[in-house]
Amino acid sequence: MCGRYASARNRHDLLEEFEVELDDEEEIEPDYNVAPTKDVYAVLSRVPKVEGATEPVRQLRVIRWGLVPSWAKDPSIGSRLINARMETIAEKPAFRRAFASRRCLLPADGYFEWMPTADKKKQPYYIHPADGGLLAMAGLYEFWKDPGGEWLCTCTIITTAAADHLGEIHDRTPMCIDRAHWADWLDPRITDAAELLVPAGAAGLVADPVSTAVNNVRNNGPELIDPLQDTGDPSTLF
C-alpha cells in the first residue's frame, strides 16, 4: 500500500510541470509527511462550469486523500479507501465509476514504505527519483454530497505490484504514469482505461533509509526525507 508520501513543490511549480490550464488558486503548505485525510494537490481534467465550455481542461485542485464513494452514507469510509489495487479497480463498486471518467494525477516528490527488520521492527524508506524529479502517481477522484448540500472531493492512490528491489521493501507500490500518457490518463472522454494501466518502471528510483520520526504524523519537515548515515548497502540505489 501507499500510506505516506512527500509533496513539497509549490503550486506555481506544479502548474508549470503539469501544464495546467485552469487553477483554482488554492494553496497548501509543503508537506513531508502526507497522511490519509489530509488535503493534497491533484491534477485532473474536467469541463469547466462556465457558459459555452464543452471540452475538458487540465486543472490543479486541492482535494482530500481517502476516497468517499458518491453512494457512501458516511464520509469516514474514506480513511479505508486510501489505495485502490490496479488489478481490481475496474470491478470494485467503490472505484469502478471513478475509474471510467474521474482519473487524476497526484504529484509527489517521493513516498514512504516500511521494511521489517530482523528485530521485528520496521525501517522506513523514502523512495524517490534519483534526479530529483516528480512522481505522477495515478489516482481516482470522486464527489460526495453531505446531507446539508455541501460537496466533498476526495481521492485514492492506485497501487500495483512492486518490481525489482522495491519488492524487497514492500510488495505494493504506487502506480506512476509516464509523462507521455498523462493526457490520455486524465481524459474523461476515454471511458475504457484498461489499456492505460501500464505503470512506470522502477528505474531511476532511490530507496533511502530514513528516521522513524516519519512514523508519527505530527512530525513534518525536510529532515524526514534526509537519508540515514551510509549503511554500506549498495542495494539502496536501483
Contact (CB, 8 A) for 169 and 205: no
Determine whether 25 is an active site residue: no
Amino acid identity at 106: L
The per-residue pLDDT for 235 is: 42
Contact (CB, 8 A) for 12 and 119: no
**Mind listing the pLDDT tens digit of every residue in the chain (238 residues)?**
689 999 999 999 999 999 999 988 899 999 999 999 999 999 999 998 888 888 999 999 999 999 999 999 999 999 999 999 999 999 999 999 999 999 999 999 999 999 888 887 899 999 999 999 999 999 999 999 998 899 999 999 999 988 766 667 878 889 999 999 999 999 999 998 888 887 666 678 899 999 999 999 999 999 999 999 755 443 444 3
Residues 6 or more apart whose CB falls under 8 angstroms from that of 109 comprise 5, 6, 7, 8, 9, 128, 134, 135, 225
CA distance 238 to 235: 7
Give the three-class secondary structure for 49. Answer: coil
Give the three-class secondary structure for 111. Answer: strand
The per-residue pLDDT for 83 is: 97
CB atoms within 10 A of CB 181: 14
Q: Is 129 exposed, middle or buried (0-12, 13-18, 19+ CB in 10 A)?
A: middle
CB atoms within 10 A of CB 161: 14
Identify the active-site residue in 104, 113, 153, 176. Answer: 113
CATH number, residue 230: 3.90.1680.10
Element spanning 101, H or E? helix 96-101
How far is the first Cα of the chain from the last one, in angstroms, to the nearest whole number?
A: 20
The per-residue pLDDT for 119 is: 80
Identify the active-site residue in 2, 104, 153, 176. Answer: 2
Determine whether 91 is an active site residue: no
> How many CA atoms within 13 Å lie on the side-chain side of 236?
18
Residue-range definition of the domain harbouring residue 153: 5-236
Q: What pTM, to 2 d.p., does this model score?
A: 0.92
Structural domains of the chain, count: 1
CA distance 118 to 136: 33
The per-residue pLDDT for 116 is: 85
Residues 6 or more apart whose CB falls under 8 angstroms from that of 120 comprise none
The per-residue pLDDT for 8 is: 96
